Structure 1
Amino acid sequence: MTRLTPNTFGTFATRRFWALAGLCALQAVAIQSAHAADTSPAQQLNHWTAQAGAPAKADRGQALFNQRQGGEWSCASCHGTPPTAQGKHASTGKAIAPLAPAFNAKAFTDTAKVDKWFKRNCKDVFSRECSAQEKADVLAYLIQLKP
């Protein structure tokens, strides 16, 4: 029979290190779970369609997405045409994940991020916030893009 001694499982410092490492790992999992998807592209489309009070139209969304608005940018300036591959920010060059949900499983699955990016990008492209109808139309266009 093996007798357990204080050094069987390492020194106190080693045991303490592994205990803290385990706690950190658990906390990381908890934080990641807190940021899990809370919506889907279909739920977002239903939400904006209901707010708009009219059906979304993919062809109208495609035209809106590709048309330069007032300035020099369109949605497609950064997200590409069609937005099914990695895009690149027009001024910073930063990589942007594909926008179409069929090409990016995380697209339109976090309500806070969706609201943040629509607000920011609409102000950049249109110099105003997008209407619920515009959001619904653009999302209808993006959802219909398939591999």
Structure 2
Amino acid sequence: MDVRALEEADLELVCRHREQMFREAGRDEAVLQTMTAHFREWLRPRLHDRTYFGYLLCAAGEPVAGIGLMLIDWPPHPSHPVSDRRGYVLNVFVEPAYRRRGLARDLMQRAETEFARRGVQYAILHATDAGRDLYANLGWSGTTEMAKPIASS
């Protein structure tokens, strides 16, 4: 399995992975279509300026697994008292034919290494039910985060 960094040309692949990840988590198809269209426009400049970065694992030159990473501005916090940013992991996806081979684990370990290289002391992610056990086995734990949709006026 070869590894390479995400590139601008991976825009559609990342969009497809993200959409499929949410589809498998049971999200509504109409919402996914809307989300993907807006995500594509959000992602394009971030791939260009490398504020969205990550890795792809490839078999015979074809991407079969990917991970997205970001650094997010966050005030110093008890979990990272001297740092003003957090790592953020998103869009972890493995093609169905390549699952249960440790590829997501490999990508998560690469993420931790990359965050450490960049001086990040704390990272977060939002897990689907399918990924929760993997993340827990890698030392990730739940937080006190809560969420609420806000209706537009």
TM-score by length of 2: 0.24
**Which of the pair has more CA radius of gyration?**
1
Question: Which protein has the bigger helix share?
Answer: 1
Question: Which protein has the bigger strand share?
Answer: 2
